[in-house]
Amino acid sequence: MSIAILIVIFGPAVAAFALGIAMTPALTHFLYSRKMWKKKGGKIALDGSTAEVFNTLHTEKEVGTPRFGGIIVWASVLASAAFFFALAAATGYTALWDLSFISRGETWLPLATLALGAAVGLIDDLYEVRGVGGLRLRMRLIIVGVTALFCAWWFYSKLGVTGVSIPFDGVLELGVLFIPLFMLVALSVYAGGVIDGIDGLAGGVFAAMFAAYGGIAITNGQIDLAAFCATVVGGLLAFLWFNIPPARFYLSETGTMGLTLTLTVVAFLSDTLSDGVGVLVLPIIALPLVATVGSVLLQIVWKKVFGKKLLRISPLHHHFEAIGWPAYKVTMRYWIVSVMCAIMGVSISLLG
């Protein structure tokens, strides 16, 4: 790989990191001066009962730590993309056009889903801090589903994608069934966004996942997509700079909705469209999200079948807290697992 390509990929990432670092002091002052956190701590379990274990662990923290931390991530990514595009357009220099990673075939969709998810999540967070409970889960799922339907249609009709790559075994053709598969993956990944529950946890996990897909995109020759993924990682690292325990703010819905939607799009973009393997390694690369969703579903099923809880509390990361792990230990161990899963997923993608 040439030095020029490395600059093209990591230049916008460095810019996003710098922009994120630069904007954080002003954002922090705004959030704390206006007390942009939940006015009442605690939450209700899925069965309608009070989540007593969670409330014991997190109620005090929830009412003193602002939401909206995801602004640092998506604002730095979108600002970096806009900056290099505007600079290239104004000067006309070829080198600057190379640094502009906005392209129809590789980054239009992920940029759009990041912006849309961020906007919807921002509305949800605003409702939360005003004490009206946020958008209903059903409404958020509908928005994610409709967005996923549009993206699936775009892949199917505009990009001609009708299947997914199977590692070591070619392509599984799905035809029109590709559309519901895309929607199912998008909804499942979005559900994993509840991993944003411990200081620094979600930021590190998402950084590892997007770094993995950046590596896959490089090997697929998708330089713009690789630059996009690297830029997301840059924004996430800026967020983590200020969010390593104790957290200065939560990633919250304005961060997780955009990131989960975008992760799904990136996985499909790095699959058959580029003769790569991107979708079927997603459960490996995103194993922490899979474990998060799986632990919630297993808890529900276990209670219905056996009449008692399997875990002290779900999702799984809160169970570890409940049995005595310090929050920072949960975070660090999840980061380690995330890096291991990212390496494993990229390796399978390369060999497959």
On whether residue 287 sits in a domain, the answer given is no
Choose between 23 and 40: higher pLDDT: 23
**Helical segments of 34-69, H only:** 52-62
Task: Give the integer Cα–Cα distance in Å for 58 and 42.
Answer: 7
Task: Give the integer Cα–Cα distance in Å for 144 and 163.
Answer: 21
Choose between 255 and 247: higher pLDDT: 255
Choose between 205 and 132: higher pLDDT: 205
Task: Check: CB of residue 200 under 8 Å from CB of residue 247.
Answer: yes
pLDDT tens digit string along 169-182?
889 999 999 999 99
- Work out the mean pLDDT of the chain and round it to a whole number: 92
pLDDT tens digit string along 274-328?
999 999 999 999 999 999 999 999 999 999 999 889 999 989 999 999 999 999 9
Across 324-352, average pLDDT: 95
pLDDT of residue 148: 98
Of 68, 115, 56, the C-alpha closest to 313 is: 56
Helix or strand run (H / E) with residue 322? helix 316-322
pLDDT of residue 65: 87
On whether residue 334 sits in a domain, the answer given is no
Lowest model confidence (mean pLDDT) among 15-29, 137-151, 307-321: 307-321
- Give the alpha-carbon dihedral of 179, 182, 183, 188, to 10 degrees: 160
Judged against a pLDDT cut of 80, whether residue 151 lies above it is answered with yes
Q: Which domain holds residue 49?
A: 3-280
On whether residue 261 sits in a domain, the answer given is yes
pLDDT of residue 335: 97
pLDDT tens digit string along 98-128?
888 999 889 999 999 999 999 999 999 999 9
On whether residue 222 sits in a domain, the answer given is yes
pLDDT of residue 3: 82
Task: Check: CB of residue 352 under 8 Å from CB of residue 167.
Answer: yes
Provide the sign of the torsion angle of the four alpha carbons 256, 258, 261, 263, taken in this order. Answer: negative
* Per-residue confidence band for 96, with pLDDT thresholds at 50, 70 and 90: confident
With pLDDT > 70 as the criterion, what percentage of the chain qualifies?
93
pLDDT of residue 52: 61
Burial class (CB in 10 A: 0-12, 13-18, 19+), 72: buried
On whether residue 199 sits in a domain, the answer given is yes
Distance spanning both ends of the chain, measured CA to CA: 21
Task: Check: CB of residue 261 under 8 Å from CB of residue 114.
Answer: yes
On whether residue 319 sits in a domain, the answer given is no
Task: Give the integer Cα–Cα distance in Å for 155 and 177.
Answer: 12
Residues 6+ apart with CB under 8 A from 13: 80, 227, 230, 231, 233, 234
Residues 6+ apart with CB under 8 A from 148: 182, 183, 185, 186, 187, 261, 264
Lowest model confidence (mean pLDDT) among 80-94, 140-154, 183-197, 322-336: 80-94
pTM of the full structure:
0.94
Specify the number of domains making up the chain: 1
With pLDDT > 90 as the criterion, what percentage of the chain qualifies?
78
On whether residue 313 sits in a domain, the answer given is no
pLDDT tens digit string along 37-86?
887 765 655 555 555 666 666 556 667 889 999 999 999 999 999 999 99
**Helix (H/G/I), strand (E/B), else coil: 47:** coil
pLDDT of residue 63: 76
On whether residue 298 sits in a domain, the answer given is no
Task: Check: CB of residue 81 under 8 Å from CB of residue 103.
Answer: no
26 phi/psi in degrees, rounded to 5 = -65, -40
